A and B are shown apart, each in its own frame.
Chain A
């Protein structure tokens, strides 16, 4: 069965330091993977997506993610955190039937001054 595991439920960083949000996936074929962000009291917004083109994917707001097939990982990174990055982040896998998204449990990112 396809699944997504986000390895940290909470991550706390200081403003200006790097961000790393970890995600591992389980899939028997080449997956489509995404990161979504949810700001407090807001809906979800697509940050970036991987669909088997370049393994390093750049998204909005300076985020990027690298697809590593050997490690079955799709970690999200940002070189320098801003206060506005504080939100919940979801790693998401597109099911083989192309009719639904499978969400990880989410990682809540806190950014401190």
Chain B
């Protein structure tokens, strides 16, 4: 089954404790991205990647890092989480940059930073 998976689905952590949210897709997609969803703000893009070893900042990259060492994986790293990073996070992928109109979304990761 074609899908985007994220782990963990739920995470409660404390300020300053490094964490990684994994994202994996099995569709051989080139383009992957991370979004955060906050009430009243819709989804905002954090980082995106157009292919292996090619990443770039989205609209709200501060406090986040990403890597793209393999085509299928695109982990989101919070080196020193803060409470304002409490949010619902979505990973998404599409065939390529030109097909970002049809993105496949993961199920989401709900992060709480205390």
- Asked if A and B are interacting partners, one says yes
A residues contacting B by CB (< 8 A) are 4, 9, 32, 34, 41-46, 49, 51, 90, 94, 98-101, 103-106
Which residues of A lie under 8 Å from residue B33 when comparing CB positions?
100
Alpha-carbon separation in the docked complex, A4 to B90 (Å)? 20
B residues contacting A by CB (< 8 A) are 4, 31, 33, 35, 40-45, 48, 50, 56, 58-59, 90, 92, 97-98, 100-103, 105-108
Which residues of B lie under 8 Å from residue A41 when comparing CB positions?
107-108
Q: How many whole Å from A92's CB to the nearest CB in chain B?
A: 8
Contact B101 A51 (CB under 8 A): yes
Q: How many whole Å from A90's CB to the nearest CB in chain B?
A: 6
Q: A105-B41, A106-B42 are in contact. Are A43 and B106 (CB under 8 A)?
A: yes
Contact B101 A34 (CB under 8 A): yes
Contact A98 B105 (CB under 8 A): no
Would you give 11 A-B contacts (Cβ < 8 Å), ordered by A?
Answer: A42-B107, A43-B105, A43-B107, A44-B105, A46-B103, A51-B101, A94-B100, A99-B31, A101-B45, A101-B101, A105-B42
